[in-house]
């Protein structure tokens, strides 16, 4: 099992349990059956995190999933059933549901936006605007919902933004320095005007150009200018109300931070049966 996943779950449980669950210690710890029910329509995501919360406290807890990861659920659906000792199930309940609700919310919102632009060539990307400690989990949820991952962090891709370029002196100097120091790392360049785009298009070694806060008319012109040179990504001010307009410009990628930071947790409940 992924060590980062284990660490994330361990920290979440410790945050909730601390020195011990004093409420569940009052129970007789009998074997019980329970089930998780959805009160929302959603794309389910986070089963591995959910399972590990219970199994970390009691490896004998049995969990049977009624739906597959990435499938759509509707209100009233039984998502999974559990059987085991009451103390472990009650203690892990909240943390397990937190993972499942948050990751399912990310997958659901991603899936919704992906469905809106399905008739275009644009693909949906996430950003680094994730819940602290849950980046890998949320980026997995984005893929579960049909989206694509942007860079994981500051270490796996060079992204030259306005402040980087101003600090180094120019876009040309920034790219030369990046290519010299990190020849095997992908490079994304952020531009804010069509003139900056023209400059970026004239330089070799870029993986993708990000057009930040472009209007749809500017983006259409950008698509024409960059055709056959570099893929374009659009970002800034894009939401569910205007994403189709941006996608129809012909841009290759659209990145939106809201799919990981502005989410509403899916309403799930665990009940004894």
Q: Is the dihedral of CA 109, 111, 114, 119 positive or negative?
A: negative
Name 125's bridge partners: 148, 255
Q: What is the pLDDT of residue 26?
A: 82
55-61, long-range: CB < 8 A, 24+ apart: 56/9, 56/10, 56/13, 56/92, 57/13, 57/88, 57/91, 57/92, 58/84, 58/85, 58/87, 58/88, 58/89, 60/84, 60/85, 61/85, 61/88, 61/89
Burial class for 7, CB neighbours closer than 10 Å (0-12, 13-18, 19+): exposed
Does residue 94 carry a catalytic annotation?
Answer: yes
Does residue 30 carry a catalytic annotation?
Answer: no
Q: Which CATH superfamily is domain 121-261 in?
A: Aldolase class I (3.20.20.70)
Does residue 212 carry a catalytic annotation?
Answer: yes
Stretches in the chain below the pLDDT threshold 50? none
CB 255 within 8 A of CB 231: no
Of 66, 94, 136, 220, the catalytic one is 94
Minimal CA–CA distance to 46: which of 9, 10, 11, 13?
Answer: 9
Buried (b) or exposed (e) across 102-123, using 16+ Cβ within 10 A? bbbbbbbbbbebbebbeebebb
- How far is it, in rounded angstroms, from Cα 9 to Cα 96? 9
Of 129, 143, 177, 185, the catalytic one is 129
- What are the CA-CA distances from residue 192 to residues 81, 196, 198, 225 (Å)? 51, 7, 11, 15
- How far is it, in rounded angstroms, from Cα 98 to Cα 84? 20
Of 48, 172, 212, 252, the catalytic one is 212
Q: What is the pLDDT of residue 170?
A: 87
Task: Let me know if the fold of 3-114+264-272 is the same as that of 121-261.
Answer: no
Structure tokens at 22: 């004093």
Which residues, 6+ apart, have CB-to-CB distance to 224 below 8 Å? none
Q: List the Cα angle 58/60/64 in 5-degree steps.
A: 110
- How far is it, in rounded angstroms, from Cα 120 to Cα 124? 11
Q: Which CATH superfamily is domain 3-114+264-272 in?
A: Quinolinate phosphoribosyl transferase, N-terminal domain (3.90.1170.20)
- How far is it, in rounded angstroms, from Cα 255 to Cα 225? 20
Q: What is the pLDDT of residue 1?
A: 63
CB 131 within 8 A of CB 102: yes
Domain ranges in the chain?
Answer: 3-114+264-272, 121-261
Does residue 220 carry a catalytic annotation?
Answer: no
Instruction: Count the Cβ atoms, other than its own, within 10 Å of residue 59.
Output: 9
Q: Give the pTM.
A: 0.92
H/E segment holding residue 272: strand 268-272
Does residue 161 carry a catalytic annotation?
Answer: yes
Of 135, 190, 208, 233, the catalytic one is 190
């Amino acid at each position: 099992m992924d060590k980062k996943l284990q660490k994330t779950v361990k920290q979440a449980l410790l945050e909730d349990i601390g020195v011990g669950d004093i409420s569940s210690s009052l129970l007789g710890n009998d074997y019980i059956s329970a089930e998780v029910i959805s009160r929302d329509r959603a794309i389910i995501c986070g089963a591995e995190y959910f399972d590990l919360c219970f199994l970390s406290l009691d490896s004998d807890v049995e969990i049977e999933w009624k739906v597959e990861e990435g499938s759509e659920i509707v209100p009233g659906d039984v998502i999974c059933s559990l059987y085991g000792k009451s103390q472990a199930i009650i203690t892990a309940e909240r943390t397990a549901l937190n993972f499942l609700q948050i990751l399912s919310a990310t997958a659901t919102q991603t899936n919704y936006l992906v469905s809106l632009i399905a008739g275009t060539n644009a693909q949906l990307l996430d950003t680094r605007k994730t819940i602290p400690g849950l980046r890998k989990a949320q980026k997995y949820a984005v893929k579960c919902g049909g989206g694509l991952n942007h860079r994981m962090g500051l270490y796996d891709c060079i992204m030259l933004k306005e402040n980087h370029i101003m600090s180094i002196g120019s876009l040309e100097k920034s790219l030369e320095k990046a290519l010299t120091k990190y020849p095997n790392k992908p490079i994304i360049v952020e531009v804010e005007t069509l003139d900056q785009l023209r400059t970026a298009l004239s330089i070799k070694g870029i993986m993708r150009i990000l057009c930040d806060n472009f209007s749809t008319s500017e983006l259409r012109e950008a698509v024409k200018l960059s055709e056959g040179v570099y893929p374009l990504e659009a970002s800034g001010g894009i939401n569910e109300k205007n994403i189709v307009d941006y996608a129809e410009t012909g841009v290759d990628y659209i990145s939106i931070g809201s799919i990981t930071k502005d989410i509403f947790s899916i309403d799930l409940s665990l009940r004894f049966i």
